[in-house]
Chain A
């Protein structure tokens, strides 16, 4: 054995350090350092003529974000869209996951799950682009589909953004719920039926409570991914705006303010994480 090998063999801490030094340098120093630098910027001033950051303490960025009605409205709109997307995904995903895990023949389960996961590999932009051709106000597919019913496509705006985001994140909701429902033992469902519960009651009182952590796990994706999005909003939103767009627009001219706005989704996410921690959802990721 060479000397170095002997050294690593007898020193556990040295082995851990050798394994972790590079990853920590990258994520701990470069990444966390960048995040810290960004959020420190949010308490600095800006020279309004040069758009350069001036390193002087101020709380005005946060005061602006918190007191300006316009930013409050954007925040509420963004959270509202994220909630709507989460609900739409859940309403679609719960019966789909239930169908795949409990109703479909065991042989067709992998195929159905593959069909649901497949679009995850398709490009994000392509999927949103696809919805642009779907939602186009006059010549779009949706308009053609529903115009015989006397309806017309809502065009680009909040509705299109909610549909687009639901489309993007639906598989992230189906997967954890499917995994949760598949694990469910048959005996529990049989017991509920033996005790006289109808299928609907069994679903509401037995299956739903047990799979709740999995549903919350799915909602973490749909909620957080929707909160920070701005590209979908640019492509499908028309004049509609969310927090990400405000960050994007201010980033070049007023970085301290953009940093303060960017903190909002991070804080909302931490509140959400904190409030669902007890459900055990984090172990279902």
Chain B
């Protein structure tokens, strides 16, 4: 498109501003994790790796990370099973109430987390005998199903039913068709959905606040509990900086997935 010089400069300006708006705060956290000053006054007066060493030996952080990884893994497994079952039914069959059911599969993401949180809390405490470790997983799986479902359903729709029909015309039964035709085609969508689901669960705080049993401190809960404690500030900052660095892993993985697709 032919643009005037001014228009180009303005657009460059917006892009530059947008990207610095996105990255300056994140970089600030990483730099601050080496800030010698405990209260993180800017600009830093000196640098140290002391906070990283201290955080690495902090047992609260370690326990919280373990619990978060366990929660996210279990919630993702449940989401993979439920999400792909539902996606197969909705993408491959036409039946009464299909639209209502697909709407239902977006609801846990569309409604504010606090609504889902207190609704589940109410049911768990009144009918399920209180909050435990398992109630967190049930809560997380509820919104993780949505992302797996979306990914897999989109893939089903894109690939059409012709390959599966061809396979069955050639005499393969449903199981063989699934194993040799359908599954290889939806595998990437399953991996992408699982990645997203793990990330969502690992990061979730609102639903967790309302579904976690006593003493069940996931990493986001730990961060939130320690955010306002001046003593813990350096450790919180290191955890935050580490999480920013670690978030490159799923981006790298999903980037590889999209490249494989081409």
Point out residues on A near B: beta carbons under 8 Å.
1, 5, 8-9, 12-13, 15-16, 19-20, 22-24, 26-28, 30-35, 37-38, 41, 92-93, 95-96, 98-100, 102-103, 112, 114-119, 121-127, 129-134, 136, 139-141, 143-144, 167, 170-171, 174, 186, 189, 193, 199-200, 224-225, 227-231, 235, 244, 247-248, 251, 255, 258-259, 262, 265-266, 269
User: What secondary structure prevails in chain A residues at the interface with B?
Assistant: helix
Query: Which of B46-54, B58-66, B104-112, B186-194 is the contact stretch?
Result: B104-112
Q: List B111-147 residues whose CB lies under 8 Å from chain A.
A: 111-116, 118-123, 138, 141-142, 145
Point out residues on B near A: beta carbons under 8 Å.
1-4, 7-8, 10-12, 14-15, 17-19, 21-26, 28-29, 32, 39-43, 81-83, 85-86, 88-89, 93, 95, 101, 104-105, 107-108, 110-116, 118-123, 138, 141-142, 145, 149, 173-175, 199, 202-203, 205-206, 210, 220, 223-224, 227, 236-237, 240, 243-244, 247-248, 250-251, 255
What is the distance, in angstroms, from B149's C-beta to the closest C-beta of chain A?
8
Q: B22, A23: Cβ atoms under 8 Å?
A: no
Q: B101, A37: Cβ atoms under 8 Å?
A: no
For A25, the closest partner residue in chain B by CB is: B82
Interface pairs A-B: 7 shortest CB-CB = A228-B112, A130-B25, A95-B14, A19-B89, A23-B86, A139-B41, A38-B119
Q: A16, B28: Cβ atoms under 8 Å?
A: no
Given known pairs A26-B141, A118-B251, the reply for A92 and B3 (CB within 8 Å) is no
For B175, the closest partner residue in chain A by CB is: A5
Chain B contacts for A262, CB-based, 8 A = 112, 114-115, 118
**Could you name 6 residue pairs across A and B whose Cβ atoms are closer than 8 Å?**
A16-B95, A19-B85, A19-B93, A100-B15, A124-B205, A126-B223
Chain B contacts for A265, CB-based, 8 A = 112, 115
What is the distance, in angstroms, from B141's C-beta to the closest C-beta of chain A?
7
Q: A125, B42: Cβ atoms under 8 Å?
A: no
For B110, the closest partner residue in chain A by CB is: A224
Chain A contacts for B82, CB-based, 8 A = 22-23, 26-27
The contact of B122 among A30, A34, A225, A266, by CB within 8 Å, is A34
The contact of A129 among B14, B115, B118, B240, by CB within 8 Å, is B240
Given known pairs A123-B220, A266-B111, the reply for A24 and B101 (CB within 8 Å) is yes
What is the distance, in angstroms, from A41's C-beta to the closest C-beta of chain B?
7
